[in-house]
Amino acid sequence: MKNILKIEEAAMCGIAVYFITLLPFHLPWWVYVLLFFSPDIGALGYLINTSTGAFTYNLFHHKAVAVICIVIGFITGNNYLLFAGLMLFAHASFDRFFGYGLKYADNFKHTSLDMLK
């Protein structure tokens, strides 16, 4: 079952990246890589404490936040918001593929998927 979930996450990441390529942005490849990993800036909240860190990390890694951005961007025709939502969604799926789920407030390694080793 765990492998099936990993395949699903990889597929969702790939689909989101595909839709990103359809948007009318022409950036250097390294900017896409930088933006893809930018949601990890949410981990800086852990410099304050674990509760704040879990909140900020989860804010940038929750798929519902990404879907809301995608829907609003699509409805309003705002390609920047659509891009941001797709990037958040792709990154969240990428992280879940590697076992990094949403965080609990008690410990960085305590995730919605399991305790990280």
The single residue listed with the structure tokens 């789920």 is 101
* Residue 73 in tokens: 């961007």
Q: Which amino acid is at 100?
A: Y
Q: Which amino acid is at 77?
A: G
Q: How many CB atoms lie within 10 A of CB 70?
A: 22
> Would the pLDDT of 53 be above 80?
yes
Helix (H, G, I), strand (E, B) or coil at 113: coil
Burial environment of residue 90 by CB neighbours within 10 A (0 to 12, 13 to 18, 19 or more)? buried
* Three-state DSSP string of 48-86: CCHHHHHHHHHHHHCHHHHHHHHHHHHHHCCHHHHHHHH
pLDDT of residue 61: 96
Question: Which of 88, 109, 113 is CA-nearest to residue 37?
Answer: 88
> Would the pLDDT of 107 be above 90?
no
Domain edges within the chain:
2-110
pLDDT of residue 116: 53
How does residue 2 score in pLDDT terms, banded at 50, 70 and 90? confident
